[in-house]
Amino acid sequence: MRINRRDFLKWSVAAVAALKLEMDMDKLNTVMAAETDPPVIWLLGSGCSGCSISTLNVTNPTTIEDVLQNKISMKYDSTLMAASGESAMQALENAANQYNGQFILVIEGAIPGGASKNNCIIGEQNGVPLTMYDAVLKYGPKAKYVVAAGTCASFGGVAAAAPNSTGCVTVKSLLSGKTANPVVNLAGCPVNATVMVQTLLDLILTGVPSLDSYSRPTKYFNRTVHSVCPRRETEEVSQPGKYGCYEEIGCKGPGNLSPCPSLKWNNKQGWCIQSNYPCIGCTSPAFPLNPVISVSSGD
């Protein structure tokens, strides 16, 4: 359910007057655009907020200021939102009900399950602690699209690394058969900002993109790092820190599907291999292996 423009403007004028702020019609028009843009609810489970931070770093296709002001309406995001405590949890509940069947649910981090459900509590609703596990079950089926942001949400990742005593499960396994559309796994530790934001825009504009067998968009996860690595034809070197190909010291690039060589990171300022360390395979369902990477101990 969306409020119409006139109602919104009326409400905005009242709010501005109540707060004794100066009226700015241009700004209200921008607000109007944003409030009617597709709503997003972002939940953080067992993770590090790295995917949130990575998303804040987006520059391609646009910057986060533009995304938040003009492209989506972020209804719940515990890292950014003004509301706290009870009013934050009310905002979550209200958004899910008001936009039932329309919103995009982004889940960052894995989800402690089984006997460990209480290892991650996202807040209290009506005085009752809401576990991440129950929150995903509660809001996942109401969402139009569900996006697993990062490798923890997609595959368990570091959150579920052995021995996984916190019983972490993935978004896809928890919501199997319960969502309107297939869960989209945006692997990466953290998720690449372009993959994250462009996928949100793709969902809004065209729907669920083509997915591979791990539910990753084939648009980004169709080539191994090695197959397009700019160092593929360079001399193989025997340790990190030297310029060259790291295939013989355990680089995960040959088996890892990832857009890193083309998208790179942080406005294309770098990526792992460019900084002279082999790919550790962070977009892979197996990440993190033990050892993370079998770099030879030197020579």
Partner 1 sequence: MSTIKLDPVTRLEGHLKVEVTLDANNAVASATVAGMLFRDFENMLLNRPPRDAAFLTQRICGVCPVPQAVASSKAVEKIKGFKPNLQGLMLRNLIQGANFLDSGITHFYHLSLLDYIQGPQMSPWTGGYTQDLRFNATDTQTLTNHYLSALQIRRKANEMAAIFSGKLPHAANIVPGGVTALPSATEITNFRNYLNDIQSFISSTYQSDVNMLASAYSDYYNVGTGYGNLLTFGVFDTNTSGSLLFPAGTVINGTVGAFSEANIKEYNKYSYYSSPSGQAPASGTTTASYGKSGAYTWLKSPRYNDTPFEAGPLARVWVSGDYRNGVSVMDRHMARYVEMSKLVSNMQTWLDQLTPGASGFTNIGDPVSGSASGLTEAPRGAIGHWLSVSSSKISKYQIITPTCWNASPMDDAGNPGPVEKALIGTQVADPAQPVELLRIVHSFDPCTGCSVHVMSPDGVEMSKFVVQPLGK
287 is in an annotated binding site: no
Backbone φ and ψ for 245, nearest 5 degrees, come out as -90, 135
Please, which of residues 71-100 interact with partner 1 by CB under 8 A? 73-89, 91
Backbone φ and ψ for 169, nearest 5 degrees, come out as -120, 170
Q: Is 48 a catalytic residue?
A: yes
Which one from 3, 31, 32, 48 is the annotated catalytic residue? Answer: 48
Please, which of residues 54-73 interact with partner 1 by CB under 8 A? 54, 56-57, 59, 63-65, 68-69, 73
User: Binding residue for partner 1 (CB under 8 A) from 3, 9, 16, 137?
Assistant: 16
Least distance between partner 1 and beta carbon 269 (Å): 4
Please, which of residues 173-212 interact with partner 1 by CB under 8 A? 189-190
Cβ atoms 278, 293 nearer than 8 A: yes
Q: Does 162 bind partner 1 (CB under 8 A)?
A: yes
Least distance between partner 1 and beta carbon 28 (Å): 8
Q: Is 120 a catalytic residue?
A: no
Instruction: Indicate the SS3 state at residue 257.
Output: strand
Rounded to whole angstroms, the Cα distance separating 184 from 163 reads 26
Instruction: Indicate the SS3 state at residue 84.
Output: coil
131 is in an annotated binding site: no
Interacting stretch for partner 1, rule CB under 8 A, among 21-29, 135-143, 206-214, 221-229?
A: 21-29
Cβ atoms 240, 274 nearer than 8 A: no
The binding track of 109-148 with respect to partner 1, each residue x by CB under 8 A or -, is ---x--xx-xxxxxxx----x-------------------
120 is in an annotated binding site: no
Closer residue to partner 1 (CB): 39 or 217: 39
Which one from 189, 193, 197, 249 is the annotated catalytic residue? Answer: 189
Position 77, amino acid: D
* Nearest by Cα to 25 from 9, 8, 44: 9
The residues, any chain, with a CB within 8 Å of residue 105's CB and separated by 6 or more, are 40, 41, 43, 139, 140, 142, 143, 145, 146, 147
Position 81, amino acid: M
Q: Does 222 bind partner 1 (CB under 8 A)?
A: no
168 is in an annotated binding site: no
Closer residue to partner 1 (CB): 158 or 179: 158
Which one from 40, 152, 183, 196 is the annotated catalytic residue? Answer: 152
* Nearest by Cα to 186 from 73, 109, 252: 109
Q: Does 235 bind partner 1 (CB under 8 A)?
A: no
Rounded to whole angstroms, the Cα distance separating 13 from 19 reads 10
